[in-house]
Amino acid sequence: MLRLILGPAGSGKSRLLYNQISALSEKGEQSLLIVPDSMSHLAERRLLLHCGNRVSRYARVCTLSRLAGDILAASGDKPAFLDAGGRVLSMYRAISSLRGRLRYFDERAERPSLVSAMLDTVNEFIFSGVEEDHPALNNPAIGAKMEDIRDIYRAYMDICRASSLDPAQALDKARENIRASGLMHSKHLFFDDFSAYSQQKMRKSGLLRRKK
């Protein structure tokens, strides 16, 4: 069952979650409180202050990024991810593969600034849930600049599939391995401050639907 608790800041939403987690821990049931990266340490302190040290046996505060790593490790699926240098090299290869076909960026294809800007754009696309075949990217009215961005994005993702994944894809891989990991079995899931999650992280809250 999915239950949303909505209200302005300071209205007691988090306190209500802590009360529920505490009640579940009293019954020996496991809970997972998922929060944005920036809130993880604060949420851990608040949970212990509100529920006492005993709750640490039954409840854990986690970010979606950390949970993704745990899922992949537990499932045995250990995909290779690009490091910072690998991302730059892969993007350079993607842009270079399109030389002569780019309409807007062709003259600046060798510039490091284009590589950096496109890596930022890839992150935005992935975190916003914009897939390579998104209808907006296939709209003939998008213009030369967006067509180039689309083609570079697709070329970069093709390179990632053939070698190592972009780190931003970790959540997608984790979603594929939730059942195999067994980490979600018999756990109550709580999300706090979900307004801070990107579209990708909200979609990956498909943890809720796939945990059984």
In the sheet that holds 30-34, the strands lie side by side as 59-62, 30-34, 187-191
Report the distance separating Cα 147 and Cα 155, nearest Å.
12
Give the tens place of pLDDT for each residue, 56-87: 899 999 988 888 889 999 998 888 999 999 99
Q: Taking Cα atoms as reference points, which of 83, 114, 84 lies closest to residue 98? A: 114
Q: In degrees rounded to 5, what are phi and psi of residue 170?
A: -60, -40
pLDDT at 51 over 90: no
CA distance 18 to 84: 38
User: What is the pLDDT, as a whole number, of residue 129?
Assistant: 82
Q: Is 0.75 surpassed by the pTM of this model?
A: no
Burial class of residue 164, CB neighbours in 10 A (0-12, 13-18, 19+): middle
Per-residue pLDDT, 212? 41
Query: What single-letter amino acid sits at 145?
Result: K
Q: Supply 88's token pair.
A: 């730059």
The first and second tokens of residue 150, run together, are 């689309």
**pLDDT for the residue numbered 142:** 86
Residue 11: DSSP 8-state: S
Q: What is the pLDDT of residue 39?
A: 85
Confidence of residue 209 (pLDDT cuts 50, 70, 90): very low
Model pLDDT, residue 22: 92
- Confidence at 202, pLDDT banded by 50, 70, 90: low
Interval 146-188: pLDDT, tens: 999 999 999 999 999 999 999 988 888 888 888 888 888 888 9
Q: What is the DSSP letter of 81?
A: B
